[in-house]
Structure 1
Amino acid sequence: MDGRVLRGEQTRAAVLGRAMGIASVEGLEGLSIGRLAAELEVSKSGVFARFGSKEELQLATVAAAREVFLDAVVRPAFEVPPGVRRLWRLCDGWVVYSRGRVFPGGCFFASVAAEFDARPGRVRDAVAAALADWAGLLERAVGDACQLGQLEAGVSARQLAFELEALASAANARSVLHDDDSAYDLARSAMLDRLRALATEKGLLEGE
């Protein structure tokens, strides 16, 4: 790779890494090309050339955060076959991701969703799409477990996915606002109890 291209990619990666950290704490409106250039000690024109506008920077930050989330939560869960154990891996992976402060402000998407939920536009649409994909993934994971006969007949995939997502969101909110790490233990325990109660084979989640 050409040296200038490589340096440009390194600069872009550094900018997005810092931008994700800032946005998880201060929101996407806390981003500016000038601020990022100053904090990373790179030229403002160089950062502008890679993003072009504040909105494009925000959109790129959302896309980068989505990839981080996929690497931290989704891809590891897909290392196990479909069913209750994959569903549990998604839930537990989310708890580990938020609790471990992959982003300093907790869940990146919980932070920016609260900021943009009532503000129409491309950034809101990108955040909403990422959250819809996560909710849909949970719902499909529940559906897979039902089809495999690993969850009791009559389980609503939409309802159970909503409950699991709500527990995760509540743990993140309490932890961030009250600096209460025990919220993750409560959420994890509630998720596991719910899945064990619905599992048709009681040994599927033993040892978790």
Structure 2
Amino acid sequence: MTDGAQNRRVRVDGVRSRRMILDTAVKLATVDGLAGLSIARLAEAAGISKSGLFAHFGSKEDLQLATIDAATEIYGRDIVGPAMQEPDSSARLRALCNLFLDQVENDVFPGGCFFSSVNSEFDTRPGIVRDRLAELQTQWMELLAAEYAAARDAGLLPDEEPEQAAFDLNSYLHLANDLYVLYRDRSYLDRARRSIAAYLATA
């Protein structure tokens, strides 16, 4: 193997190792919290050495931010990306809601919605981690509001303030998530789907 090929192999292995670590971190964070995501705990769960973890993340804060970014990629892959392929804004809005509920129902994260878990943990802790979470929450609400506004303006949904619609829809989603995690009863997710369908029909 040439030096160039060997270097490329090392880089690829490093990317795969980081991806595996972050997949584990995202799941752990919904159960133990981002604050509880210690290097030692993550190393044990991922089956690697603590020194191996330090090679990827220089500090606990770096690990927390990387974990948030990894979760954001999963939401983009499972929810936002597919929803944006729908043909119109009304269908995109419904898909955003339904795919969110599908992700919860499929137990992608053992503790339910990643952001619901960690937002409640950091909402009173000033700092870069809270700022990043607040930024992502704002982006999600703005996406819901923008799709509602586009659907309303196209005559596909009733006349409602988009920001209020985003608030209402997100409330259904996160209450369903919280009750599902607490009771492990999928009927709460079905209730949310019915409520959202009715809301978008009569908003």
What CA deviation, in whole Å up to 9, does each residue of 1:99-118 have, x standing for no partner?
21111111000000110011
Q: How does 1:1-208 map to 2 (within 5 A)?
A: 2-152=8-158, 154-198=159-203
Instruction: Please give the alpha-carbon distance, in whole angstroms, between the structure 2 residues aligned to 1:41 and 1:159.
Output: 45
Percent identity (aligned): 42
Mapped to 1, the partners of 2:58 and 2:108 lie a distance apart of: 27
Do 2:33 and 2:118's aligned partners in 1 also have CA atoms closer than 8 Å?
yes
8 Å Cα contact 2:157-2:201 kept in structure 1: no
State the Cα distance separating 1:41 from its structure 2 match: 2.6
**CA distance in structure 2 between the aligned counterparts of 1:136 and 1:170, rounded to whole angstroms:** 19
CA shift for structure 1 position 54: 0.5
Count residues with an aligned counterpart.
197
Looking at structure 2, the residues matched to 177 and 121 of structure 1 have their Cα atoms a distance apart, in angstroms, of 29
User: Displacement of 1:95 after TM fit?
Assistant: 0.8
Letter in 1 for 2:164: Q
Q: Equivalents in 1 of 2:46, 2:26: separation in Å?
A: 14
Partner amino acid, structure 2, of 1:31: L
Unaligned runs of 5+ in 2: none
- Whole-angstrom distance in 1 between the partners of 2:63 and 2:149: 36
Give the TM-score of the pair, scaled to structure 2: 0.93
Q: TM-score, normalised by structure 1?
A: 0.91
1:178 Cα offset (Å): 2.1
Runs of 4 or more, structure 1, over 3 Å off, are none
Q: Which SS does the other structure have where 1:52 is aligned? A: coil
Deviation at 1:146, TM superposition (A): 1.1
CA distance in 2, matches of 1:189, 1:39: 38
